[in-house]
Amino acid sequence: MNKGHEHPLNQFLAKCVKVFQNLGFEVVTGPEIVNEADNFDLLNIPSTHPARDVQDTFWLKDGRLLRTHTSAMQVPAMKTRKPPAKIVVPGRCFRNEATDASHETTFYQLEGFAIDKNITMADLIGTLKYFIGEIFGKEIKIKYSPTHFSFVEPGMEVSIYWKNKWLEILGSGMIHPKVLENMGLDPNEWQGFAFGMGIDRLMMIYYGIDDIRLSYQNDMRFNKQF
């Protein structure tokens, strides 16, 4: 009888989670079917955002949806906790889009956030620099670029210099005051940072895989290489 083999996505996700556990982050999981408030409203994503459209999100007949990001656990996780808190949320997400070498309807994300008094962008950058160094090597070049995400303010994209080009690998920023308020926290007293990354694409970079669809074809010839 053939023995089972851990999928490279699971291997890589466990590797990433372990790095954050070493920094004291708690691992939290959540449901893949969530309500609109947790996935959008409470994260300051407006009703006019394109992700609300049926072309981007898998909606169920009862008004719930398949979560589009693991950020849907941000507010629910804090309903049962008091700050300070450091949390990572690994899990599967779903988006209604055409598949190709770099896009799938099903994929894995790793969301993380930390809340405490006097947290700054320096804490966020230090955390991400440590993580990237542990995964891709401490000598790797990192670039931080300002950008907009509804649930953080300010926001930034993080890129690494890999095989002679810059690759954007994650989004991050300081948790938006409205999101902190939705957690029941006073943004004048508490601050936080958050980040989210697509595990599939990071795994592809790490192992040198050129087609995301290979991860979901259940081909043992692929899986056993890792």
pLDDT tens, position by position, 42-77: 999 988 888 888 778 999 999 999 999 999 999 999
Between 112 and 96, residue with greater pLDDT:
112
| Tally of CB atoms within 10 A around 37 | 13
Asked if the structure places residue 2 within a domain, the reply is no
3-state class of 187 per DSSP?
coil
- Domain tally for the chain? 1
Which pair of tokens denotes residue 79? 């309903």
Strand positions, DSSP E, 12-83: 26-27, 33-34, 65-66
Closest of 110, 109, 111, 103 to residue 56, by C-alpha:
103
Domain coverage including residue 105: 8-223
Asked if the structure places residue 67 within a domain, the reply is yes
Asked if the structure places residue 134 within a domain, the reply is yes
Asked if the structure places residue 219 within a domain, the reply is yes
Asked if the structure places residue 3 within a domain, the reply is no
Asked if the structure places residue 29 within a domain, the reply is yes
> Which pLDDT does position 100 carry in this prediction?
80
Closest of 207, 197, 208, 224 to residue 12, by C-alpha:
207
Residue 1 in this model has a pLDDT that exceeds 70: no
Asked if the structure places residue 16 within a domain, the reply is yes
Q: For position 212, which CATH number holds?
A: 3.30.930.10
- pTM comes to 0.92
Asked if the structure places residue 23 within a domain, the reply is yes
